[in-house]
Amino acid sequence: MQFGVFSVSDITRDPVSGQTPSEAERIDAIVKIAQKTEEVGMDVFAIGEHHNPPFFSSAPTTLLSFIAATTQRLIVSTSTTLITTNDPVRIAEEYAMLQHLAKGRMDLMMGRGNTAPVYPWFGKEIRDSLPLALENYNLLHRLWREDVVDWEGKYRTPLQGFTSTPRPLDDVPPFVWHGSIRTPEIAEQAAYYGDGFFANNIFWPKEHYMRLIRFYRQRYAHYGHGTEQQAIVGLGGQAFIAKRSQDAINEFRPYFNEAPVYGHGPSMEDFMEATPLSVGSPQEVIDKTLTFREHFGDYQRQLFLMDHAGLPLKTVLNQLDLLGEEVVPVLRKEIAARQAPETPEPPTHAGLVKAKYGDAAPRQPRPNANRGDNVTGGSPYQDTAK
């Protein structure tokens, strides 16, 4: 089981101090948050992708490669990478590059994005959102697995003899999660390819996600990747922790009340009752998080939203101390004791290399010499037949 933190990259006014951080401050802060995630013993840091204020994360691979360079164990990931408005060719290239630089300590999560104006900014239509996501991912999947791709689809210029470079590290594509909260087609695609499925689990009651995860598990088994129990599931969660429950509630309430998305809506108590939000003592957060596997089945990755709604950096770092030192170690122990024996390990690059090659050496593609026209032809690498 992997534990970590995911961020939306919102730059939100702190409702207590009245201050709004600058973009520069918030970008510095997110690097510290990611580094802290590793320091307190957690495994994953994931960042969202947005192309408008008040968000800063328009270039996730740049941020994540910097974080990877300044950490040792942390897996960097996304929450999510827009598979709709990004060219799948650019995703293939950028994330393969990140994979090399991070020495495999990365994966990524596909998402459609819910900001309507983003589509026209990138020449797309939101009406096409779902087929765009599905077709783009079909292409991305091939770009990472075939040296040379001929491709024709509905939403992108055809490709003839295209090679996405660099080839994935050890010729093992990055692990992909598909994030969705309500779309069976996305769950189907995750299941078809044997990829992971992630439910952000934050804003809506659990019944909503239970249905989709159940469907994903059934289809994962249907496509022959393993049993339903062996499907790869990730969940989001949200917590605010203090030694004393009442302090957590008092300190978090002003942030809750003005939070983007659910602020000015339900009371914090109602929201806690209906959604996975935990505000309370470490034990209360542990107890609530332990219920997730009862609802969704044993899963591989738990990410917490810790830095949104204008919480200042100092508070967030303090929260990460509490999460990493008092909550996660207990969760690791308790979940290990309860987990069904055939529950798969969470995905890592090392695990994927092992699955592909066993004890043999991984493939290391070496290109043929440039023939002078920058078109490498049908077999661009030395180890494939001419």
Partner 1 sequence: MSTFKLVVVSAGTSTPSSTRLLADRVTQRLTALADRRGHEVTTTVVDLREIATEVTAALVSQLVGPKLRHAIEALAEADGIVASTPVYKAGASGLFTSFFQVLDNDLLIAKPVVLAATAGTARHALVVDEAMRSLFAYLRTTTVPTSLFASTEDWTDPALNKRVDRAALELLLLMESGFAHEVRETSWHSYQHEFGSAGGAEVSIDLDSDLMRLAAGGSAS
Of the candidate residues 211, 244, 333, 338, the single one contacting partner 1 (CB under 8 A): 211
- Distance CA(341)–CA(292), nearest Å, equals 18
Instruction: For residue 130, state whether it binds partner 1 (rule: CB under 8 A).
Output: yes
Instruction: For residue 185, state whether it binds partner 1 (rule: CB under 8 A).
Output: yes
Of the candidate residues 35, 165, 183, 318, the single one contacting partner 1 (CB under 8 A): 183
Question: What phi and psi values does residue 169 have, to the nearest 5 degrees?
Answer: -55, 130
Strands 159-162 and 149-151, sheet pairing = antiparallel
The one segment of 96-104, 133-141, 290-298, 319-327 that binds partner 1 by CB under 8 A: 133-141
Instruction: For residue 153, state whether it binds partner 1 (rule: CB under 8 A).
Output: yes
Which CB atom, from 277 or from 335, has the smaller least distance to partner 1? 277
Shortest Å, Cβ 216 to partner 1:
11
Going by C-alpha positions, the residue among 177, 176, 135 that lies closest to residue 159 is 135
Of the candidate residues 120, 161, 205, 362, the single one contacting partner 1 (CB under 8 A): 205
- Distance CA(385)–CA(57), nearest Å, equals 42
The radius of gyration computed from the CA coordinates of the chain, to the nearest angstrom, equals: 21
Instruction: For residue 189, state whether it binds partner 1 (rule: CB under 8 A).
Output: yes
Instruction: For residue 253, state whether it binds partner 1 (rule: CB under 8 A).
Output: no
Of the candidate residues 120, 161, 265, 377, the single one contacting partner 1 (CB under 8 A): 265
Give, to the nearest 10 degrees, the angle between helix 282-296 and helix 206-222: 40
Instruction: For residue 200, state whether it binds partner 1 (rule: CB under 8 A).
Output: no
Instruction: For residue 80, state whether it binds partner 1 (rule: CB under 8 A).
Output: no
- Distance CA(254)–CA(259), nearest Å, equals 8
Instruction: For residue 208, state whether it binds partner 1 (rule: CB under 8 A).
Output: yes
Q: DSSP states of 311-333 as a string?
A: --HHHHHHHHHHIIIIIHHHHHH
Of the candidate residues 120, 161, 184, 377, the single one contacting partner 1 (CB under 8 A): 184
Instruction: For residue 357, state whether it binds partner 1 (rule: CB under 8 A).
Output: no
Which CB atom, from 28 or from 185, has the smaller least distance to partner 1? 185
Going by C-alpha positions, the residue among 192, 175, 33, 26 that lies closest to residue 107 is 175
Going by C-alpha positions, the residue among 206, 203, 181, 180 that lies closest to residue 297 is 206
Instruction: For residue 344, state whether it binds partner 1 (rule: CB under 8 A).
Output: no
| DSSP reduced 3-state for 99 | helix
Shortest Å, Cβ 132 to partner 1:
9
Going by C-alpha positions, the residue among 228, 348, 347, 350 that lies closest to residue 298 is 228
Residues 6+ apart with CB under 8 A from 72: 38
Instruction: For residue 149, state whether it binds partner 1 (rule: CB under 8 A).
Output: no
Shortest Å, Cβ 296 to partner 1:
15
Q: What sign does the CA torsion over 356, 216, 226, 142 have?
A: negative
The one segment of 25-33, 182-190, 243-251, 290-298 that binds partner 1 by CB under 8 A: 182-190
Residues that bind partner 1 (CB under 8 A): 130-131, 134-135, 138, 141, 153-155, 182-186, 188-189, 192-193, 203-205, 207-208, 211-212, 215, 261-267, 270-271, 273-275
